[in-house]
Chain A
Amino acid sequence: MPALQNTDTDHCTKLNRTGYPSLWFASDSSTAASLIATAGVQKTFKSSLTGLSLSNPILASDASTTSSTLLQFLKGEGAGNQGGVDYSKMENVLLKDSSGSKTIVDDYFTPKSSGPYTFSTKSAPKISSTNFDTIITDLQTAEFLLKDTEIYNAEDFDPASSSPKSSLVYLNSIANASTGVISEPALQDKKSKLESRNLRFFGAWLAEYCFYRCRYEWLLNKFFTVYKQTTYSYNSTLAPLFSSAGTSDPTSPAGATPTQAECLRCLTYHMACLNTRMTDIRLLLGKISEKYSAVTNTVQTAINTSSNIGSNQDLRNKITALNDSAMNMQTYLTEKDFHDGVVKYTSEKNRYANILLGFYAFLNIAAVAMVFQLRSS
């Protein structure tokens, strides 16, 4: 089952727009400009979360979750409601550490940006490829993403290793085969946390991505509306998108009322900034995907390297040795049956010989008695 079912349905519309109207809204919303920017400066996801009651469900109540593991998780089903944490609530899905809520763009991208995090061009991306690697490491260190060793750690299966065993593969291996539950509560808690970690990150990713996407779509809608106007008239609801007049800022009009060109330039600037964030967030997932693909390849290589314990060849060798040993054992058991039969037969022979010995001893005693009788008479 995929994380998201491949349908034409917009997955961003499955988020709880009613519960969080300031985060996600429709592209025809009439009041969105003030949610997007203030005086030409875009509002961040982090600042938009401030003051919100995050105990509402993250998904809309009528959202269909069938055949999508991520949506089922965000509905609080399966791994989404383990270890006492209900991941159907926004507050449990958002990334949090000891210093409070974290967002991908504001806490990981913006500090790594070359210059102000506005918009990238093909020749000058704001976030470089090496930055993505560092960001992934930071996310793993903050325990927002599973580390390689938290998925599979060869040391966990080494009896000589004294390090605490905590990889997901190890925890799954000691869990009850039918229920998937570990009897030791601490280990079960660890397993639940690890199982939900990546899905929670993908949930937080989706929430943040849709935050930028619904703004982008709203601006795109406005862009075409303005662009198609043959007789231009300024729509004052767009005012929050503009900065003060007469500056060099791309959102700044020359006069008090922006012209059509200035309006389009302002909308384009905001869309470029939003699209940069959306593209970078997608690139981050691509890099995460590559990283896990490398882990998959490492484990695959381990399976296919004959010298490794647990490799296919190693397993074949041990099964062959077991088969040989079983054949020897079969021969041994056959011989043992035969020898047991021989023991029974010789025991019976001994018993018969004892009877004869007793009988002949008696006969000889009688004969000796007769000889003495004969000698004395």
Chain B
Amino acid sequence: MASSQDFLFGALDTSLLGQTTANLDDASMKNAIYKSENSNIINAINMAETNSSGALTYGMYLNRNKTIADTAVELTAQNKTLKNGSSETSARQGEINEWASQNKLDTLFFLQTLFLYLMSYIVITYMWRYGLLPGSTYYWVLAILTLIILGIFLNRYLYTSKIRDNRYWNRRYLSLDKNLQDDTTENECASSS
């Protein structure tokens, strides 16, 4: 039976086995074996359970990482969509309002000029009627004022419809087309108001 003994007292120190029958302290030997066996159970189960829980814990950790990463990707995509979808809307509305506003002020400028012209017309007509102004001077002054008011009208109308940039009020439209550039050469010195 010698061959079985290496598996017989696995927990027992060999020096204890060397004791003689007379002085054998079997109580301490059994106690050592019991303690070792108990420790074996605890270690074996705890190790297996810890490792299986560890796999689960790390799995949860990996999953948590993935969930956070997915959320981050989703939020990033939402940010991009939001920006791409409406970032220009309010800026463009501002430009449209600005263009319309400037166009109205331009019209207002013409209406003010026209009002001045009509007031001047009334004044010089009265002066002519009451003999304060000779007939030839009256017609000359009237013709000059009429030419000025027509010039202002044509200038504003043609500049806005032909030369002014459709997006920015204060910018001239410069085409890359050579023929168009040639057409607009004569207007290069036109006011950009």
Contact = CB atoms under 8 A, between A and B. Distances in A.
Contacts of B90: 336, 339-340, 342-343
SS class, residues of chain A in contact with chain B: helix
Nearest to A360: B111
10 contacts: A4-B41, A6-B42, A172-B63, A288-B51, A318-B68, A325-B79, A342-B98, A353-B104, A364-B115, A370-B118
Contacts of B5: 268, 272
A321 to B, nearest CB: 5
The contact size tier of chain A is 35 or more
A12 B45 contact: no
Contacts of A276: 7
Interface residues of B, number: 75
SS class, residues of chain B in contact with chain A: helix
Contacts of B48: 3, 198, 202, 285-286, 288-289, 292
B54 A282 contact: no
Nearest to A273: B4
A303 B62 contact: yes
B116 to A, nearest CB: 10
Contacts of B104: 350, 353-354, 357
B132 interface: no
B40 interface: yes
A45 interface: no
Interface of B: 1, 3-8, 10, 21, 24, 26, 29-30, 33-35, 37-38, 40-42, 44-52, 54-56, 58-63, 65-69, 72-73, 75-76, 79-80, 82-83, 87, 90-91, 93-94, 97-98, 100-101, 104-105, 107-108, 111-112, 114-115, 118-119, 121-122, 125-126
A170 B7 contact: no
Interface in A250-301: 250, 265, 268-269, 271-272, 275-276, 278-279, 282, 285-286, 288-290, 292-293, 295-296, 299-300
